[in-house]
Structure 1
C-alpha cells in the first residue's frame, strides 16, 4: 500500500509499505479522506510542532475518515462496510487520567501522526490503516469522507469551548482564523455566545469565519477589535496573538490557549493576570467531544463545507501541502486515494 511519510522538513514522500496487521480489537480501514492539519504543515515546514521533533520517518495524518474493510475477532462496535470517522486519540484507558474522564491528558497516549513519543506514532495518510474499535464512530454512508474527517478539528473546538465555561450571552474573541479559529466561531455560537469577533492578519480567512458563525471580523493589520471580551480563545499559536488576547479581556475574563505556541519560553505581558484577575486555561485535543462532533456533522447542525477548500490525490500531496499553507487561498485541504480521481 501507499503511505505519505515525512522524513525531515520539506522531505515528504509517498512510499510503498506492507499492509498493516490488525489486532483482535482493531479494524482495518481504507482511507476515504484526510484533512491536512496545522500540525502536519509544521512537520512539513519545520520538522516538528511545538516541543515535538521528528527523529525518524513518520506517516502523517490524523483528521481521517474511511470504510471498514476488516475487523478483529473481538470487534463488536463496527462492521465491515461501515463508514467511520476515526478518532486519532488512542489513550491507554487504564491510567488515572483516563479513568477520571480526562483521556486527552493520558500520559500513555498514542495519537496518530505524532512525534511526541519515540518510536513515533504513525498516522493515517495511507491507503490502509488500523484503529482500535473505540476510535471508530459510524457515520452515514451519505456523509462525504471529507466532512466526516472534520470531526477531529471540530472536536478540538468543542473541547476548547468547554474549557471556557458558560458562554451563553457572552462576548467572545477568537484570535486566528485558521481552521480551528473558524470552527471555534461555530462552537461558540452553539454554546450561546452572542458576540463572536474573529481576528487575523489576512482578510481571506476572515471571510470564511463570517460563514462559520462570526458576528464580526477584524483584520488587525488595519485596526484593533473594539471593546472588551468575556472570553478570548488564542488560536494563532503566536506570542503576538497571546498578547492581543490578554489585552482584550475584561476584568475577571478568561483566556483559553488553543494554539500550540513555539517551543521554549514565550514572552507575554502577564501583569493583567494580576491587576484584572484574568484566568488562563489550556485546551489540549478532546475527549468525549469527538462523538459529539460526528453527531453534529451528521445531523447537519454544523456545516463545514465553507472550510473545505480543495481535494488532492495522495500522489499530489506536495501540491496539496503547498496550497494548505497558503492562507489566502485555502482553509482546509483534503487528501483522497488516487483511484477517486481516476
Structure 2
C-alpha cells in the first residue's frame, strides 16, 4: 500500500468480504477527511456480509461497510476550520434537510436519508471501514477532552440505545424489561442505568452476553428457555425489544404490566410479522418504534466522557483490519464476543 491508496473492507455479496486497496479520498469544499482509528462491527455489517442484504436492502454493487467510526482529522477542505489531529466521531446520517420529517426535527426518519455503509440507495452510500473517510464537516464531532478513542468507538450504537430509552420517556424508578443482550441490548441497559431505571431485567439465549449486560447495569439476567417462565408475571413498566426477533417482541408484550409501554428497537425479519394484537388491545399497551438517532450522538459523547454512561465491558475485542475476515466471524458469534472493533491504526505508510 502506497501513500495514494488505502485499505477498505468491502462486501461484494453474501459470504464475499474483501480487504481492498482504494484511492485515498481528498476533501472538497465544506468537507473533512478523517484518519479512521476504530470502526465498530454492527449487526447490519454482519447481514451484508452473511446474506448480501439487510432486510429489503440488497447489495447491487460492492459496498464499503461500516458506520460506527472514530478517528482523527487528517485534512480539512476549503472553507473548513478543523485542526489536523483533532479526535472526532463521525455522524453516519445524511438527512435531506427539507422534507416534512426534517422540518419537524425528526432527521432520523428523513424521507430521503443516506447512511454510511448502506445499500438502501442505489448507488449505495459507501461506509467508513477504510483508512480515510471524507464527510461533510457538519457530521464530524470533536470528542470531549480526555475521551479515549476506543471508548468513543461505541458512541454510535450507544446513541441508538440512548434514543430508544428517550422514546420510553421518564424511566426513573421504573421496572424495565430488555429482550436481547447483544451490543445494542447491553447499551440499552447501560443507558437505562444512566437514566435512573430502578430494576432492569434482560433476556438472551446465550450466557456470555447476559454476563456483559450484568456488568453494565442489569439487575436480573434471564437465559431464554432456562429461566424465562416467570417473565409473563414480571409486570414491567416498560419493555424494550432489542433482539430483532418475533419471540422477543412477544416476550415484551406479555412481560409489561397492563397499560405499559413497549419500545420496538430491533429490526424484525422482512415482511409482515405476526403480533399479539389482541394482547396489545386488551392490556391497553402502547407500542412505539425507535429508529437510529439524531442529536443524541453529542449527548452520548459527553455521557461517555463524564462517566455517566459506563460501557467499557461492551467492547470485548479489538482486531487489526488486516484480519477483517476473522473479526467478522468473531462478531457473528455471540458466545465469544459482544462489540468487536476493527483497528485501522497500524498503517504501513501515510
TM-score bucket of the superposed structures, by smaller chain: over 0.9
Measured against aligned partners, the alpha-carbon deviations of 1:92-131 in whole angstroms (never above 9, x if no partner) come to 2233222321110112211100111111100000010112
Q: Paired residue for 1:68, among 54, 64, 73?
A: 73
Q: CA deviation at 1:341?
A: 9.7
CA distance in 2, matches of 1:203, 1:92: 42
Is the contact between residue 38 and residue 345 of structure 2 (CA under 8 Å) also seen in structure 1? Answer: no
Measured against aligned partners, the alpha-carbon deviations of 1:26-74 in whole angstroms (never above 9, x if no partner) come to 1000111001011111111111112211111100000010011111122
Hey, what does 1:120 align to over in structure 2? Answer: 124
Number of residue-to-residue matches in the alignment: 341
Q: Paired residue for 2:161, among 146, 157, 169?
A: 157
Once the two structures are superposed, the pairs formed by residues 236-251 of structure 1 within 5 Å of their partners are 236-251=243-258
Secondary structure of 2:222's aligned partner? strand
Measured against aligned partners, the alpha-carbon deviations of 1:180-223 in whole angstroms (never above 9, x if no partner) come to 10110111122221010000011110010001111111111202
Secondary structure of 2:115's aligned partner? coil
Q: CA deviation at 1:140?
A: 4.7
Aligned in 2, Cα 1:295/1:140: closer, same or farther, shift over 3 Å? Answer: closer
Could you tell me the TM-score, scaled by structure 1's length?
0.96
Hey, what does 1:13 align to over in structure 2? Answer: 18
Structure 2 portions without partners, runs of 5+: 1-5
Hey, what does 1:99 align to over in structure 2? Answer: 103
Secondary structure of 1:339's aligned partner? coil
Hey, what does 1:257 align to over in structure 2? Answer: 264
Q: CA deviation at 1:282?
A: 0.6
Q: CA deviation at 1:340?
A: 6.3
Once the two structures are superposed, the pairs formed by residues 270-289 of structure 1 within 5 Å of their partners are 270-289=277-296
Q: CA deviation at 1:22?
A: 2.1
CA distance in 1, matches of 2:12, 2:148: 30
What is the root-mean-square deviation of aligned Cα atoms in Å? 1.5
Hey, what does 2:338 align to over in structure 1? Answer: 331
Larger CA deviation: 222-231 vs 322-331: 222-231
Structure 1 portions without partners, runs of 5+: none
Is the contact between residue 264 and residue 288 of structure 2 (CA under 8 Å) also seen in structure 1? Answer: yes
Aligned in 2, Cα 1:141/1:171: closer, same or farther, shift over 3 Å? Answer: closer
Q: Paired residue for 2:142, among 138, 141, 150?
A: 138
Q: Paired residue for 1:191, among 195, 200, 207?
A: 195
Could you tell me the TM-score, scaled by structure 2's length?
0.94
Q: Are 1:58 and 2:69 an aligned pair?
A: no
